[in-house]
């Protein structure tokens, strides 16, 4: 039995307070310019002038 399960079984009020404190939900989804497969390719970056940019 983990600590979370023990607190959930014995003290429900404390468990709910801890859940509200530790809210790990992402606020916004991460928007990518391209599909994940294309971004993971070995040639997913290109040189623009002196800078290295991610291909879109």
Kindly report, residue by residue over 14-42, the tens digit of the pLDDT: 999 988 887 766 666 666 677 777 667 76
- DSSP characters over 1-56: --HHHHHHHH-HHHHHHHHHH-----SSPPPPSS-HHHHTSTT-EEEETTEEEE--
Model confidence band, residue 2 (pLDDT cutoffs 50, 70, 90): confident
Domain ranges of the chain: 3-54
């Amino acid at each position: 039995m983990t600590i979370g399960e023990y607190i959930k079984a014995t003290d429900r009020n404390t468990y709910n307070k801890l859940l509200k404190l530790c809210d790990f939900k992402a606020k916004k989804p991460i928007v990518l310019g391209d599909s994940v497969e294309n971004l993971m390719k070995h040639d997913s970056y290109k040189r623009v002038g002196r800078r290295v940019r991610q291909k879109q």
